[in-house]
Amino acid sequence: MKSIIKSRAACMVLVFIFHLIVVCNGEEDETMGAVMEKREQEALYFVIQGFVGKWWNGSDLYPDPCGWTPIQGVSCDIFDDGYWFVTELNIGLIHENSPSCVLNMEFSPHLFALKHLKRLSFVKCMVHRSHPVTIPTEDWSALSGSLESLEFRSNPGLIGEVPISFGSLTSLQSLVLLENEISGELPTNLGNLVNLKRLVFSGNRFTGQVPLNFGSFGQLLIMDLSRNSLSGNLPLTFGGLNSLLKLDVSNNEFEGDIPNEIGNLRNLTLLDLSRNKFAGVLTKSLQQLSSLRELVLSRNPISGSLMNLEWHNLQSLIILDLSRMMLEDRVPESISELMGLRFLGLNDNNLTGELSPKLAEMPNITAMYLNGNNFTGKLMLAESFYAKLGRRFGAWDNPNLCYTFNFSSTSHVPFGVKQCQGLVNLYATKAGTSSKLEGNVNEVPLSVASGEHRRNEISYAYVVNMMLLLLFMASSK
């Protein structure tokens, strides 16, 4: 009798535990009974097989791709009809054990039957330049109601132009075409993608001008058009990208002035216009970008004076790179008020004047390049500053610049800068006559000049001491 009671108690405990598991994992329990719609499952198999090869038999390898036999790179969700549907598909070498795409890969038309697909990416899939692949030009409109993210990354075998039908993907929030071989002009109808938050076309072969309606992306946070062959002026409409955080158009062939409208982008944290053909002068509107952390304008034939901007307005700056331009005049002391600045690049310009000792007082500076200018006078920066930066402080190639300190270590001497050496004038006067020892030690090597100067000092001291001794002896008599 006791054994029966114990058995019943054990059963009740098991039932109670099972009930707890069901309650705590109710959401998982709902998915246990869900199945994948047959057409959706077959479409998924055909799509993957088109990229990885005919050998791939999805029905045998992954009979339940959204359940107990998940496919790497595939994510699913249950929708109102109670069926699993594919919401994310990543093709290519996403993970170490992901199957690679075959030479004769193809875009299966079944891709556009995945009606709930939200995120689609191709990473290192079309890698064979000898077997180039183009993006399908049709059917993308079938995904217009669902697709939010579309990415092609690191596909050197992907050629051709951006399909015009991309303009129909009005639900897109992220469009990334990064490091492929896509060419042609930027389609104007991409301006229809008003929900875009990220637009990255970096590292391709795009040509032509940026469409004016690219300034209509009111929600855009990131625009990266770098490393292409785009040309013309930056559209004035860019001033309407009020949400923009990062704008990178570096390594192109843009020309003309930097638009004053850039100053409207008050949320901008990165502005990189480097390695283009921008000309004119530094626009004062840059000083309105109070959120800016990185300003890179290097390698553009931009002229003008740094003195015209109120640099202290840019207190968020961490990187300021204005190297290899055509800037003139002095370095304003207000730059030394940028307490967060870590990198300052002013090298290879036509800057002149003396350098303020306050430049060494920026607490976070780790690299400062002033070389290749026409600075004059004496470097009066603290030895601790030279010790901290080492070779990351560049002041060489300024013929009329010199340093004054006798450093505690030769490693602290600013590289490529000579020691200040003035005229050495020694006078000895006797009976109305004078002799003058004069030498410009800047005309001889530093080591020789220093030794000669020391010998002159010793000779002068010896003469003075002897004269004092003779006077003392004469007075004692």
Which of 38, 142, 144, 44 shows the shortest CA–CA distance to 88?
A: 44
| Residue 461 burial (CB count, 10 A) | 10
**Domains in the chain: how many in total?**
2
310 plus 289 within the same structural domain: yes
430 plus 332 within the same structural domain: no
Backbone φ, ψ for residue 300 (5° rounding): -135, 145
pTM of the full structure: 0.81
The full DSSP string for 69-116 is SPPTTEEEEE-TTSEEEEEEEEEESSSTTSPPPPTT----GGGGG-TT
Answer whether 154's CB lies under 8 Å from 125's CB: no
369 in a domain, yes or no?
yes
Q: Which two tokens stand for residue 15?
A: 């039932």
252 in a domain, yes or no?
yes
230 plus 330 within the same structural domain: yes
295 plus 400 within the same structural domain: yes
232 plus 343 within the same structural domain: yes
Q: Tokens 């990187």 label which residue?
A: 319
Q: Which helix (H) or strand (E) holds 171?
A: none
19 in a domain, yes or no?
no
433 in a domain, yes or no?
yes
Last residue of a domain, one of 398, 419, 440: 419
Coarse DSSP helix, strand, coil percentages of the chain, rounded to the nearest 5 percent: 30, 25, 45
224 plus 362 within the same structural domain: yes
Last residue of a domain, one of 419, 441, 468: 419
411 plus 465 within the same structural domain: no
406 plus 430 within the same structural domain: no
* pLDDT, tens digit (0-9, with 9 covering 90-100), for 43-90: 999 999 999 998 888 888 899 999 999 998 999 999 978 899 999 999
321 plus 451 within the same structural domain: no
Answer whether 221's CB lies under 8 Å from 195's CB: no
- Alpha-carbon distance 297 to 281, whole Å? 12
Q: What is the pLDDT of residue 33?
A: 55
Last residue of a domain, one of 381, 403, 419: 419
Phi-psi region of 218 (alpha: psi -120 to 50; beta: other; left: phi over 0): alpha
462 in a domain, yes or no?
yes
170 in a domain, yes or no?
yes
CATH of the domain at 324: 3.80.10.10
In a 10 Å sphere around its CB, with 0-12 CB exposed, 13-18 middle and 19+ buried, how is residue 234 labelled? buried
142 plus 278 within the same structural domain: yes
Residue 277 has pLDDT above 60, yes or no: yes
389 plus 441 within the same structural domain: no
* pLDDT, tens digit (0-9, with 9 covering 90-100), for 388-429: 999 999 999 999 999 987 888 888 999 999 999 863 333 333
Rounded to whole angstroms, what are the CA distances from 342 to 345, 393, 462?
10, 12, 51
In terms of residue numbers, what domain contains 441?
Answer: 423-476
254 plus 340 within the same structural domain: yes
Mean per-residue pLDDT for 266-279?
98
27 in a domain, yes or no?
no
Mean per-residue pLDDT for 105-124?
95
61 in a domain, yes or no?
no
Regarding predicted confidence, which is higher, 401 or 472?
401
Answer whether 353's CB lies under 8 Å from 376's CB: yes
* pLDDT, tens digit (0-9, with 9 covering 90-100), for 162-212: 999 999 999 999 999 999 999 999 999 999 999 999 999 999 999 999 999
